[in-house]
A = this chain, B = another copy of it.
């Protein structure tokens, strides 16, 4: 018997005829739990329950959703040991500091920041125009489907991560599509969510869980008339197919797809602190076995002696560093094929390039190098994403070529520029930055991109193919919340019928509203 699915508050026996099991990447052993690939009837039941919950919650104050999110954070903390053990078995990510001390606190912090956004209504952007009497705010969009990725079993999990938190904060029920790599982790989250639903008296269908469906049912799900929007983090091909289905039905779908996170290291910086940068880069690139959306996969340095020395310094660190376990065979084989594509295009292997070297599913830390002129002959091919513990260094002939390389880049989540501290790189920075700025969501100085702070000013987003729309971020409150919202304008609506947040009286000392072009927490005169 496979595990039941969570529909409308009940753990229901699945009528699935097909099931799947997760694999421990460290031991390569199949894990015991059997999980259902749900037929459409179960998906349909979940959609209907979510649509009903959505109706029931119309107009509820943000505090109700905040209460739930905070209770859920506590329920997660109460199950921390079980979650960490399950995620470690299913992903081979280290228990500490990664899962226990890093990703789990990040996840509960994210839920609590979403709660604050809900409580202060900051995502609503309440706008009042006293001259015309028109008022507007963002409101809930309807049931949200969240597809989480393989690489963050907590912080981006469809049932607990950033998209989930944002969708709930905006007042929507969530149908979580668990990732097939970590179903038991996801199941424990679902138990925690149900406990929080009971504690805060929320609709049973606020959070539902389907482990897996057929591709076709996935397309039906995101384009169903009862759905409000969807969020997806994962492989480009699957994401684009889902989005095409959603778009054809006019349903917003937010994607986070692929990013190689270019790092430009200018000549002065290399002369000043090459070893420190090599440390910084190697640590960032190999962190989590390179399985971060923000892992630096492309480094541009000046050709010549200093560039060659940098390649040697990184190569040495890659060889010395332990080889981590990858999330699964799928990740390893697509990493291997990415490395292969880049080599065939003319890059030289400096170190690595072979499977193995670590525990279980692994691949040696891999460094490739190519000249700037060769890169520019086929920039698309050299930007092939190799998701894992590897990177490509481009040896560039001068600042002008670096700027041309920046212009040739596809969209990325991040882009970094390292420059010296005495100003000798300032002219080069000014040449390269404008091009890089338009290609990336987050621009960094003198810092690797792997850390993604949960900040109101964070952009974990960027131009295609890093996401499907460069105006949105998946991390950072309240901006991430507003994605799962519809704009609602009130024209000539009688005062008593307006939502509290749009009435003349201030809805609270911490609620900011844009009144006649100025932001204020005061009453409207």
Does A518 lie at the interface of the complex (its beta carbon under 8 Å from any beta carbon of B)?
A: yes
Asked if B487 contacts A434 (CB within 8 A), the reply is no
Asked if A488 contacts B58 (CB within 8 A), the reply is no
Asked if B132 contacts A492 (CB within 8 A), the reply is no
Contacts of A462 in B (CB 8 A): 486
Instruction: Knowing A134-B458, A443-B491, A457-B132 are in contact, say whether A437-B139 is a contact too (CB < 8 A).
Output: yes
- Identify the closest chain B residue to A125 (Cβ): B479
Asked if A491 contacts B434 (CB within 8 A), the reply is no
Asked if B479 contacts A122 (CB within 8 A), the reply is no
Instruction: Knowing A129-B455, A479-B487, A493-B443 are in contact, say whether A243-B247 is a contact too (CB < 8 A).
Output: yes
Binds B, one of A325-333, A339-347, A384-392, A466-474: A466-474
- Identify the closest chain B residue to A464 (Cβ): B250
A471 touches which of B435, B449, B482, B518 (Cβ 8 Å): B482
Contacts of A248 in B (CB 8 A): 240, 244
- Identify the closest chain B residue to A516 (Cβ): B456
Contacts of A252 in B (CB 8 A): 469-471
Asked if B486 contacts A122 (CB within 8 A), the reply is no
Q: What copy number does this chain have within its complex?
A: 2
- Identify the closest chain B residue to A454 (Cβ): B132
Does A142 lie at the interface of the complex (its beta carbon under 8 Å from any beta carbon of B)?
A: yes
Q: How many residues of A contact B (CB 8 A)?
A: 81
Q: Which of A469-498 contact B (CB under 8 A)?
A: 469-473, 479, 482-483, 485-494, 497
Contacts of A141 in B (CB 8 A): 470-471
Asked if B464 contacts A487 (CB within 8 A), the reply is no
Q: Which of A381-422 contact B (CB under 8 A)?
A: 411, 414
Asked if A247 contacts B244 (CB within 8 A), the reply is yes
The distance from the CB of A490 to the nearest CB of chain B, in whole angstroms, is: 6
A489 touches which of B250, B457, B463 (Cβ 8 Å): B457
Contacts of A442 in B (CB 8 A): 488-491
Instruction: Knowing A442-B491, A487-B461 are in contact, say whether A518-B514 is a contact too (CB < 8 A).
Output: no
Residue in A445, A456, A494 whose Cβ sees the most chain B Cβ within 10 Å? A456
- Identify the closest chain B residue to A443 (Cβ): B490
Does A128 lie at the interface of the complex (its beta carbon under 8 Å from any beta carbon of B)?
A: yes
A438 touches which of B443, B486, B492 (Cβ 8 Å): B486
Q: Which of A235-252 contact B (CB under 8 A)?
A: 240, 243-244, 247-252
Residue in A139, A248, A251, A443 whose Cβ sees the most chain B Cβ within 10 Å? A443
Contacts of A438 in B (CB 8 A): 58, 139-140, 142, 486
Among all A-B residue pairs, the 8 with the closest Cβ atoms:
A250-B464, A519-B519, A459-B489, A470-B486, A442-B489, A136-B457, A134-B457, A129-B457
5 pairs of residues in contact across A and B, judged by CB atoms under 8 Å: A136-B457, A139-B438, A142-B438, A443-B490, A444-B492
Known: A129-B458, A132-B455. 5 other contacts (CB 8 A): A58-B437, A127-B457, A247-B468, A252-B471, A443-B491
